[in-house]
């Protein structure tokens, strides 16, 4: 009983350390080593911590917003520094739409983000796209705050 | 609407007058000699309002052994549940019955059934052989004391539920003048786990929720299953190997195969009414267009083009037209085109966005999802867009599917999260009469979405 308690406390402490290190958590790369010197260059954690892995969209829109474009431009520059890196851009929608339409909308968002990366000099062959529609929300609330976080395109290192 | 017309009666007479018939593998039916004068026309007043369901007595089927009696009771219960759930019948509580099932199966004493308010009565008996079942069933019109139907079934014992559903369909058709929908299945997506990491599996069940089974193990996400017209095959969207594509699932072999050779995502599949093709959407770049894939040649033909999102295509039952959902006019609306892609015209003009159109098997209506003013709704309109009616409205609902007689819609309804952890969210199947009454939640073991109703199995 006592050892189990200590184990649980240790796990909690570890969890705390992890969440401060990666802060705005990404969907991939869970469990990857986080060293004292920061994330491994060219990794998903590096992308999340130093570049930003996602951009957000307006309701029922796949136009890359002016305030989101710099994130994609930084992603393109980052991919220029790590030419071995290949990515998948995942397109998503909020829950305020129908499933089949949102699959198409998520694909169009992923494509729009990819186009900016390509315009920034990344070879198209390094980028895959996939849509999850409304079926993989990042934020789980049923309110505008969550929906804004879910209308997104996320760049994931393969 | 030609609901409850007596015309069908003659057709049913012909069917059951033709001698024994196999209605499903191992299940045979044949007519029983009339125990009283059969009527020549409609005998029950079937023009009543929907708020006035037909009172019917469905006593247990009689049996001479304990096993037969148990089956007779179980079959009667399935029939009662089917009829009650339709909203068009009111099965009378068994406590009110005066005559015993055994005596009623010999010869109904009509006065005993009249006095408890029954307009229709069923009687019958079960013979349980080691592995086979013989069920005799009669349907009576209580007021004129006439037999409307007499049918015998033999079937493997494990098929007793099928017999109960077939009897329910006979009752429905004889008393309402249109085909029933009880001998059917529903395929849907079973959902479990937290919302950001949901497991979504293909699942199949009888229309009353029984005989439930999972068809996929959750190793990949499955969405939007749709029955082939022969009910032995399902088209669905699979994320197997992280390549979202329309797949076919063979219910006899369990085999899955990708459909077509598309380079991008394919989704929103539906079979053509003749079962020879699948219509679907395919993404190319950021666009989505409607294609039809011939199942014999596997050749694809593109029906729409341009930069819009054209999704959720569905054939009319005669195969001549296609209704689909497109944002080509700025936001999601419904459009109809000829089967070759020509003559596209918009049909939805109400307030809000329209989606998930599906053509009634009777051809007279298109059901849809409407999103307006922060609410979702399920509704129907005529194929030319006129006569729009909203049947149900709420925070979120979508994906209507017609029962094979076009009288009932199933769809899924969601309740919102209460907090940022997603607590309180749920997704459940529901069904509703197309007149907009009798909405019921369907029972599934887990959260559920994307229902699709099979054709009649026999």
CA distance A26 to chain B (A): 12
A51 Cβ under 8 Å from any chain B Cβ: no
B195 Cβ under 8 Å from any chain A Cβ: yes
pLDDT at B248 > cutoff 60: yes
Looking at beta carbons, which residues of chain A come within 8 Å of B264? 107
Closest Cβ–Cβ partner in A97, A131, A146 for B420: A146
B450 Cβ under 8 Å from any chain A Cβ: yes
Query: What confidence score (pLDDT) does residue B35 get?
Result: 64
Query: What confidence score (pLDDT) does residue A30 get?
Result: 41
Residue A144 confidence class, pLDDT cut points 50, 70, 90: very high
DSSP state of A110: H
Averaged pLDDT for residues A43-49: 97
Domains of chain A by residue range: 39-157
Question: B316, B383 in Cβ contact below 8 A?
Answer: yes
Give the CATH number of domain B8-176; options: 3.40.50.10070, 3.30.565.10, 3.40.50.410, 3.50.50.60.
Answer: 3.40.50.10070
pLDDT digits (tens, 9 = 90+) for B216-242: 999 999 999 999 999 999 999 999 999
Residue A43 confidence class, pLDDT cut points 50, 70, 90: very high
Query: What confidence score (pLDDT) does residue B442 get?
Result: 97
pLDDT at A7 > cutoff 60: no
pLDDT at B15 > cutoff 50: no
Rounded alpha-carbon distances, angstroms, from residue B111 to A33, B118, B144, B198, B409: 83, 10, 11, 58, 38
pLDDT at B458 > cutoff 80: yes
Closest Cβ–Cβ partner in B414, B420, B425 for A139: B420
Residues 6+ apart with CB under 8 A from B40: none
Averaged pLDDT for residues B428-454: 97
Closest Cβ–Cβ partner in B283, B395, B421 for A104: B283
Give the ipTM. Answer: 0.91
CA atoms B217, B219, B222, B227: torsion sign: negative
Say whether B312 and A105 touch across the interface (CB within 8 A): no
pLDDT at A63 > cutoff 60: yes
Which B residues, 51 through 110, put their C-beta within 8 Å of a C-beta on chain A?
Answer: none
Quote the percentage of chain B above a pLDDT of 70.
Answer: 92
pLDDT digits (tens, 9 = 90+) for B404-435: 999 999 999 999 999 999 999 999 999 999 99
CA distance B360 to B31: 32
Kindly tell me the burial class for residue B441, based on how many C-beta atoms sit within 10 Å of its own C-beta (0-12, 13-18, 19 or more): exposed
Least confident of A92-101, B12-21, B31-40: B12-21
A118 Cβ under 8 Å from any chain B Cβ: no
The region, left, alpha or beta by phi > 0 then psi within -120 to 50, assigned to residue B285 is: left
Query: What confidence score (pLDDT) does residue B50 get?
Result: 56
Residue B130 confidence class, pLDDT cut points 50, 70, 90: confident
Say whether A95 and B356 touch across the interface (CB within 8 A): no
Say whether A95 and B396 touch across the interface (CB within 8 A): yes
Query: What confidence score (pLDDT) does residue B22 get?
Result: 81
Say whether B265 and A107 touch across the interface (CB within 8 A): yes
Kindly write down the DSSP assignment for every residue of B110-124, as one continuous string: HHHHHTTT-SEEEEE
Quote the percentage of chain A above a pLDDT of 70.
Answer: 77
DSSP state of B94: G
Query: What confidence score (pLDDT) does residue B336 get?
Result: 98
Residue A6 confidence class, pLDDT cut points 50, 70, 90: very low
Averaged pLDDT for residues B359-363: 97
CATH H-level, domain B185-453: superfamily: TolB, C-terminal domain (2.120.10.30)
Query: What confidence score (pLDDT) does residue A36 get?
Result: 59
Q: Give chain B's radius of gyration (CA, Å).
A: 23
Looking at beta carbons, which residues of chain A come within 8 Å of B287? 108
Closest Cβ–Cβ partner in B195, B265, B399 for A137: B195
Instruction: Look up the CATH architecture of domain A39-157.
Output: 2-Layer Sandwich (3.30)
Say whether A137 and B287 touch across the interface (CB within 8 A): no
Query: What confidence score (pLDDT) does residue B131 get?
Result: 87
CA atoms B258, B264, B269, B275: torsion sign: negative
Looking at beta carbons, which residues of chain A come within 8 Å of B246? none
Closest Cβ–Cβ partner in B267, B331, B419 for A100: B267
B422 Cβ under 8 Å from any chain A Cβ: yes
Question: B414, B447 in Cβ contact below 8 A?
Answer: no
Say whether B200 and A135 touch across the interface (CB within 8 A): yes
CA distance A85 to A120: 15
DSSP state of B434: T
Q: How does the average pLDDT of chain B come out, rounded?
A: 92
DSSP state of B22: E
Residues 6+ apart with CB under 8 A from B49: none
Looking at beta carbons, which residues of chain B come within 8 Å of A131? 244, 265, 283
Query: What confidence score (pLDDT) does residue B6 get?
Result: 33
Pick from A103, A152, A85, A83: nearest CA to B399: A103
Say whether A107 and B399 touch across the interface (CB within 8 A): no
Report residue B68: phi and psi, to 5°: -65, -40
Residue A58 confidence class, pLDDT cut points 50, 70, 90: very high
Closest Cβ–Cβ partner in B198, B286, B396 for A108: B286
């Amino acid at each position: 009983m006592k050892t189990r308690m200590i184990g649980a406390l240790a796990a909690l402490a570890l969890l705390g350390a992890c969440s401060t290190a990666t802060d705005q958590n990404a969907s991939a790369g869970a469990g990857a080593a986080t060293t004292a010197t920061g994330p491994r260059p060219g990794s998903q954690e590096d992308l999340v911590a130093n570049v930003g892995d996602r951009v957000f969209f307006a309701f029922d829109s796949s136009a890359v917003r002016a305030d989101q474009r710099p994130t994609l431009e930084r992603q393109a520059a980052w991919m220029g520094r790590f030419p071995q890196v290949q990515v998948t851009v995942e397109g998503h929608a909020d829950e305020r739409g129908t499933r089949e339409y949102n699959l198409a909308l998520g694909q169009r968002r992923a494509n729009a983000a990819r186009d900016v990366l390509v315009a920034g000099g990344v070879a198209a062959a390094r980028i895959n796209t996939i849509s999850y529609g409304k079926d993989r929300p990042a934020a789980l609330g049923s309110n505008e705050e969550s929906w804004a976080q879910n209308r997104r395109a996320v760049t994931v290192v393969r | 609407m030609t609901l409850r017309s007596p015309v069908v009666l003659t057709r049913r007479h012909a069917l059951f007058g033709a001698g024994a018939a196999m209605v499903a593998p191992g299940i045979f039916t044949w007519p029983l000699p009339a125990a009283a004068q059969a009527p020549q026309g409609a005998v029950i007043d079937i023009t009543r309002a929907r708020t006035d369901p037909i009172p019917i007595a469905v006593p247990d089927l009689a049996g001479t052994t304990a096993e037969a009696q148990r089956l007779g009771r179980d079959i009667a219960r399935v029939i009662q549940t089917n009829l009650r759930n339709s909203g068009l019948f009111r099965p009378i509580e068994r406590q009110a019955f005066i005559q015993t099932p055994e005596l009623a199966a010999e010869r109904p004493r009509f006065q005993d059934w009249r006095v408890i308010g029954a307009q229709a009565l069923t009687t019958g008996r079960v013979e349980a052989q080691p592995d086979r079942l013989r069920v005799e069933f009669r349907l009576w019109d209580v007021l004129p004391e006439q037999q409307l139907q007499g049918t015998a079934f033999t079937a493997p014992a494990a098929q007793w539920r099928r017999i109960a559903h077939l009897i329910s369909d006979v009752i429905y058709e004889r008393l309402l003048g249109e085909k029933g929908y009880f001998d059917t299945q529903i395929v849907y997506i079973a959902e479990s786990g937290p919302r950001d990491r949901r497991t979504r599996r293909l699942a199949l069940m009888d229309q009353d929720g029984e005989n439930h089974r999972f068809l996929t193990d959750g190793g990949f996400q499955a969405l939007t299953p749709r029955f082939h017209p022969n009910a032995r095959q399902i088209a669905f969207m699979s994320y197997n190997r992280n390549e979202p594509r329309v797949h076919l699932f063979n219910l006899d072999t369990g085999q899955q195969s990708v459909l077509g050779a598309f380079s991008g995502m394919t989704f929103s599949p539906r079979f053509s009414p003749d079962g020879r093709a699948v219509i679907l959407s395919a993404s190319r770049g950021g666009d989505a267009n409607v294609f039809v894939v011939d199942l014999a040649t596997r050749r694809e033909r593109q029906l729409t083009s341009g930069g819009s999102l054209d999704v959720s295509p569905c054939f009319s039952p005669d195969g001549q037209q296609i209704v689909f959902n497109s944002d080509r006019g700025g936001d999601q609306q419904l459009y109809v085109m000829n089967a070759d892609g020509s003559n596209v015209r918009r049909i939805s003009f109400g307030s809000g966005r329209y989606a998930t159109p599906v053509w009634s098997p009777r051809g007279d209506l298109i059901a849809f999802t409407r999103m307006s003013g922060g609410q979702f709704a399920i509704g129907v309109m005529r194929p030319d867009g006129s006569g729009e009616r909203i049947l149900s409205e709420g925070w979120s609902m979508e994906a209507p599917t017609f029962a094979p007689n076009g009288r009932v819609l199933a769809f899924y309804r969601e309740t919102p999260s209460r907090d940022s952890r997603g607590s309180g969210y749920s997704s459940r199947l529901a069904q509703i009469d197309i007149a907009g009454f009798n909405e019921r939640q369907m029972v599934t073991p887990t959260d559920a979405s994307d229902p699709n109703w099979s054709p009649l199995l026999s």
